[in-house]
Amino acid sequence: MHELPVTEKILDIVLKHARLNHVSEIRSITLHVGGLSDLEDEWIQHYFDYLSKDTQASGARLIIERLPIVMKCGLCDERFAIEKSEIGEARCAGCGKGDRLSIISGKEYYIKEMEAV
């Protein structure tokens, strides 16, 4: 159920921008969500549909694009994408070491764009 507060914040942001830009209807909202996020697409849309009733965003479609998980090696500075299931056994794509890796993206979520009239 943690999708509910996230979805409320998304709606607040798009409605604020709609007011500032004199938008009458929001048709779609593109979200970027990192591969480590456990937000579920169908629940975000479900809550959005419920919360956006009687607003400029009513009926808007959410387009959710998943971003890759990117790690960085602290030894050679190599950056590489990795699958969620591989994190525990990750090795640097450059030097092959696995003891100084850090996650630099994959946890984020943000609004990329919205289509409105």
pLDDT of residue 2: 86
Axis crossing angle, helix 41-51 with helix 3-20, rounded to the nearest 10: 50
pTM of the model: 0.87
| pLDDT tens per residue across span 16-74 | 999 999 999 999 999 999 999 999 999 999 999 999 999 999 999 999 999 999 999 99
CA 44-25-41 angle, 5° bins: 10
In order of 54, 70, 74, 110, the CA distances from 80 in angstroms are 44, 5, 12, 21
In order of 11, 26, 33, 46, 110, the CA distances from 43 in angstroms are 14, 19, 14, 5, 16
CATH topology of domain 3-71+78-116: hypothetical protein PF0899 fold (3.30.2320)
Amino acid residing at 20: L
Phi/psi at 69 (5° precision): -85, 125
Amino acid residing at 69: I
pLDDT of residue 1: 64
Phi/psi at 2 (5° precision): -70, -10
Q: Is 87 helix (H, G, I), strand (E, B) or coil?
A: helix
